[in-house]
Structure 1
Amino acid sequence: MLTPHAIGIILPSSNRVVERVTRSILDELPGIDACFTRVPYAGHPPDGYDMASFRQAAAMLAQARPDVILWNATRGALIGFEPDRRLASALEEETGIPCTTTALATVDYLTRRGLRRIGLVAQGDDRDGQRLKQTFGREGIEIVVGHNLGIQDNFEAARVTPEEIEDHALRLAAAARLDAILVWSTNLAGHRLAGRLPSGLPIPVLDSAAVGIWQALPYVTTANA
């Protein structure tokens, strides 16, 4: 039976995690579906996006009439958040459908909850980690401490086990006073750790792929009203 409402999701071509996380969340929310399409992971300019691929992806999703379109990827933080704002605005103008991104959704989520001191488990190398510290800092969010996994091949991030991610998160929690720990790649399997660390430490662990979905849900709620 066709569900009345849906989230349209654009994800990177090499991602193996976003669809699983989306299904696990939406399985608890009857009446909301998800539609997926992909864009190439590589080939974007260093300071933005290959807009042609996104326009095509959004146009195809629009044919399924979702209530919102979400770019569920974390690239926007690495390149400074403004390209994501331009991307969301352009796709919304072309499709007439509200559009957001995981990077923008995460800033909004953290800011609204007063989560300012963050530990980051991130996919890239130390240079990427320093860049994320700067870009998040400009949004009023301090990356206090981070573990950078040194993974540049996006597909390889999906091979990192939840147990490995948990180990990194626990070490971050022990290293500094934090408001939250953020697993920063939608191709890292951090969703199982959502909530609090198994050790009982009172620090929420936020999975980037899940945060994108959570922040898209109010658009569907509005459509239902």
Structure 2
Amino acid sequence: MRTDGLASAVSLAPRGKRIGMLTPSSNTVLEPVTSAILMGVTGVTVHYSRLRVTQIALSEDAGAQFAAAPMLAAARMLADALVDVIVWNGTAGSWLGLDYDRELCAMIAAETGVPATTSALALADAYAAFGVRRIGLVTPYTADVNEAIAANYALAGLTCPVKLGCGLRMNEQFACVEPEAVEEMIRIAAASPETDAVAVVCTNMDGARLAAKAERAYGKPILDSVATTAWQALALTGMPQPKLTDQWGRVFAVPCEKGERGE
């Protein structure tokens, strides 16, 4: 087979926008849900890199899972794919504090030259976009983790008058929570007159597929971590906001200001 002269005749097609996502190793929800959300969005693809996360707790060993070194190693591999944004698709900053996530984003950007964000920062921006202050918290976590999330939210002027969890610690189990149980927690939180919005704070529990229906039923924003992260990731690529509200919730109908991010 002759190849002489072929190289000069081949041109490379323009590439679309690429989103790189850092994924907890035991997570089985965020990848299929993110892919489903973005399936109808032309001009963007999503690429994943995993790092080891198996449990969610306030213990020292659980906290060590979110050290910077493995995050940066995984981010460097995503950067090899020339992604336009790198996202830590995990909610650890919700209980470790948003300053942890801001510092992580700055380190990723300095290491790779790619802007970065996280699920916890995306949720914070969504709360601001909707102007909500009273959050109904829905998670698969234990009560002490939920209390830590509420305490960090209080630093931002948010209250969590309703806090619902499943009492689970192992991340792989979060994906196995029955949809009916997730739907019931959302119902209780949304029906409360003390809440302005409901947040499903976990990227391994599928609230995204329930959000739009619950919003129509209760008239409040239902902010699922995976959907909200996709919303912000798209904004950081500069992609026009897709019309995904009917299927994935009202978050896709509000502008994303993007907030403080690593550049």
**TM-score, with length taken from structure 1:** 0.92
Instruction: Note the aligned Cα RMSD (angstroms).
Output: 2.1
Q: Is the 8 A contact 1:58 1:95 kept in 2?
A: yes
Q: Is the 8 A contact 1:15 1:187 kept in 2?
A: yes
Number of the residue aligned with 1:24:
36
Distance 1:88 1:71 in 2: 9
Amino acid at match of 1:109: A
Shift of 1:117: 1.0
Number of equivalenced pairs: 223
Cα offsets for 1:78-110 (capped at 9, x unmatched): 111111111110000110000000001110111
Matched, 1:172 2:172: no
- State which structure, 1 or 2, has the greater radius of gyration over its C-alpha atoms: 2
Number of the residue aligned with 2:48:
36
Q: Is the 8 A contact 2:140 2:166 kept in 1?
A: yes
User: What is the percent sequence identity of the aligned residues?
Assistant: 35
Shift of 1:197: 1.1
Matched, 1:74 2:70: no
Matched, 1:130 2:147: yes
Write out aligned runs for 1:92-131 (5 A): 92-131=109-148
3-state secondary structure, aligned to 1:8: strand
3-state secondary structure, aligned to 2:41: coil
**TM-score, with length taken from structure 2:** 0.79
Distance 2:111 2:198 in 1: 35
3-state secondary structure, aligned to 2:238: helix
Amino acid at match of 2:111: E
The structure-2 alpha-carbon separation of the partners of 1:169 and 1:37, relative to structure 1 and needing over 3 Å to count, comes to same
Matched, 1:193 2:210: yes
Distance 1:212 1:195 in 2: 16
Shift of 1:142: 1.4
Amino acid at match of 1:143: C
Number of the residue aligned with 1:143:
160
Distance 1:79 1:19 in 2: 23
3-state secondary structure, aligned to 2:219: coil
Distance 1:5 1:147 in 2: 37
> Unpaired runs of 5+ in structure 2?
1-12, 55-59, 241-263
Number of the residue aligned with 1:7:
19
Number of the residue aligned with 2:69:
52
Number of the residue aligned with 2:250:
none
Amino acid at match of 2:77: M
The structure-2 alpha-carbon separation of the partners of 1:99 and 1:198, relative to structure 1 and needing over 3 Å to count, comes to closer
Shift of 1:20: 1.0
Shift of 1:173: 2.4
Q: Is the 8 A contact 1:196 1:203 kept in 2?
A: no
